[in-house]
């Protein structure tokens, strides 16, 4: 039986946030081998903030991402290797490099109101013969109608699929369903959902997306990812099995990868704790969690106050430098009240 959706496992990209971008070559090959053997069709590999993300602003990688991508390609026997690119961080040269290394899926990500900046990169991915996926991040920040406008731009540029990306883990189930339904009804290409766990809704949102017509779903093994992590791949596949939804993926094999390989690699458990819940409440980019934790410790201000203020300022991915500014302002305000 053909699966009604294609699953992309992002443990080695979004999950990179959970290890501060320090995946080793051995960890990457072990995870790819396990996911590949379990039947996962697409495995995403790159710095957590996409190609070229290794930097002072986003965090330096422990191992060069091109080394990891090449190793993933060499290890996978059936899975396709995908990479994420954010225009302005990654470049056209990065796309050529991953194509030459054997990656076949380019996922081009923009803020949910800035699809127009993806034209060059989506077009180049198609010219290289790659599958092009549009990734509309922070999709909770616009209504379904506006998200469709942006998705249509990506479709016009040549995208094969467009994702609703809940980067902050801030969407409720009805909000996610409405956005997916709008894209499914308004596009003639595939539609995907990328959910985070900050409100403990990632599996429910992914299932609601399937009901609304999504044909692509993302997950991370052991729920690894920014913030509280992503939709746990092994949980989603197990629930699908219970519901009679064919995935073509072996749930028990995924559980083994999660328990024996991914969790031991994580630096901290993926929990829906106070910081993660605050991320979802404030609607703040998931990768801000560790940065805000460090700023809170350095300047002696509550992490929740930093995150809530970033939410009020509608901070988006790429504005990590704003975290320090906010922490300094909060510290100065506190000191001025003494």
- Confidence band for 129, pLDDT divided at 50, 70 and 90: very high
pLDDT class of 317 with cuts at 50, 70, 90: confident
> Residues near 294 by Cβ (< 8 Å), separated by ≥ 6?
none
Question: Which comes out higher in pLDDT, residue 336 or 24?
Answer: 24
Whether 175 has a pLDDT exceeding 90, the answer reads: yes
At residue 287, the pLDDT reads 80
Predicted local confidence at residue 285, as pLDDT: 84
For the domain made up of 6-265, give the CATH fold.
TIM Barrel (3.20.20)
CA distance from start to end of the chain: 68
User: 218-268, pLDDT tens digit by residue?
Assistant: 999 999 998 899 999 999 999 999 999 999 999 999 999 999 999 999 988
**The pTM is what?**
0.92
Mean pLDDT of the region 200-204? 97
Mean of pLDDT over the chain: 94
- pLDDT above 70 covers a percentage of the chain that reads 99
92 band by pLDDT with thresholds 50, 70 and 90: very high
Q: What residues are labeled active site?
A: 17
Which pLDDT score, from 0 to 100, does residue 121 have?
97
Instruction: Quickly list DSSP for 229-259.
Output: -B-BHHHHHHHHHHHT---SS-HHHHHHHII
For the residues 70-88, what does the mean pLDDT come to?
A: 97
pLDDT above 80 (res 83) = yes
Count CA atoms closer than 13 A to 317's CA, side-chain side: 31
Structure tokens at 74: 């060499």
Higher pLDDT, 279 or 287: 279
Which pLDDT does position 1 carry in this prediction? 53
Give the whole-number percent of the chain exceeding pLDDT 90: 85
**Number of other residues whose CB lies within 10 A of the CB of residue 192:** 25
Cα separation values, 10 from 196, 229, 276, 301, 324, Å: 12, 11, 19, 33, 28
Listed in sequence order, the residues at least 6 apart from 338 whose beta carbon sits closer than 8 Å to its beta carbon are none
274-336 CATH pick, 2.30.30.700, 1.10.8.60, 3.40.50.720, 1.10.540.10: 1.10.8.60
Rounded mean pLDDT of 301-321?
87
Residue 272, C-beta contacts closer than 8 angstroms, at least 6 positions apart:
197, 198, 199, 200, 228
Mean pLDDT computed over 328-336: 85
User: Residue 136: CA atoms inside 13 Å, Cβ hemisphere, count?
Assistant: 33
Q: Judge whether residue 320 has pLDDT over 90.
A: no
Task: Give me the residues paired with residue 134 across strands.
Answer: 108, 162
Per residue in 25-76, pLDDT tens?
999 999 999 999 999 999 999 999 999 999 877 889 999 999 999 999 999 9
Quick one: pLDDT at residue 37? 98
Annotate 219-231 with b (16+ C-beta within 10 A) or e (fewer).
bbbbbbbbbbbbb
Domain positions in the chain are 6-265, 274-336
The pLDDT confidence band at residue 338, using thresholds 50, 70 and 90, is low
pLDDT score of 158: 98
For residue 3, what pLDDT band results from cuts at 50, 70 and 90? confident
Mean pLDDT of 190-209: 97
pLDDT given for residue 296 in this prediction: 92
Task: Check whether 78 has a pLDDT greater than 80.
Answer: yes
């Amino acid at each position: 039986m053909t699966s009604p959706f294609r699953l992309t496992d992002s443990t080695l990209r979004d999950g990179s946030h959970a290890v501060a971008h320090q995946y080793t070559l051995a960890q990457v090959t072990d995870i790819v081998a396990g996911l590949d053997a379990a039947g996962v069709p697409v495995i995403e590999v790159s710095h957590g903030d996409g190609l070229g993300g290794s930097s002072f602003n986003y965090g330096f990688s422990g191992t060069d991402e091109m080394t990891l991508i090449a190793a993933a390609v060499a290890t996978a026997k059936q899975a396709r290797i995908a990479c994420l690119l954010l225009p302005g961080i990654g470049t056209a040269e990065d796309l050529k490099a991953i194509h030459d290394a054997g990656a076949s899926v380019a996922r081009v990500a923009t803020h949910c109101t800035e699809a127009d900046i993806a034209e060059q990169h989506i077009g180049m991915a198609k010219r290289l013969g790659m599958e092009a996926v549009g990734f509309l991040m922070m999709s909770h920040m616009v209504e379904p109608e506006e998200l469709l406008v942006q998705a249509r731009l990506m479709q016009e540029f040549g995208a094969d699929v467009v994702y609703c990306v809940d980067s902050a883990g801030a969407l409720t189930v009805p909000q996610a369903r409405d956005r997916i339904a709008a894209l499914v009804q308004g596009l003639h290409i595939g539609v995907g959902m990328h959910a985070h766990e900050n409100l403990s809704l990632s599996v429910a949102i992914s299932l609601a997306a399937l009901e609304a017509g999504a044909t692509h779903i993302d997950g991370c093994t052991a729920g690894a990812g920014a913030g509280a992590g992503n939709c746990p791949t092994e949980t989603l596949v197990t629930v699908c099995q219970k519901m009679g939804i064919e995935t073509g993926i072996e749930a028990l094999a995924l559980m083994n990868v999660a328990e024996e390989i991914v969790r031991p690699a994580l630096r901290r458990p993926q929990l829906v704790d106070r910081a993660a819940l605050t991320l979802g409440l404030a609607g703040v980019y998931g990768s801000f969690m560790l940065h805000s934790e460090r700023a809170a410790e350095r300047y002696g201000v509550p992490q929740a106050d930093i995150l809530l203020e970033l939410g009020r300022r509608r901070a988006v991915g790429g504005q990590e430098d704003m975290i320090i500014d906010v922490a300094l302002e909060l510290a100065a305000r506190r000191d001025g009240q003494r």
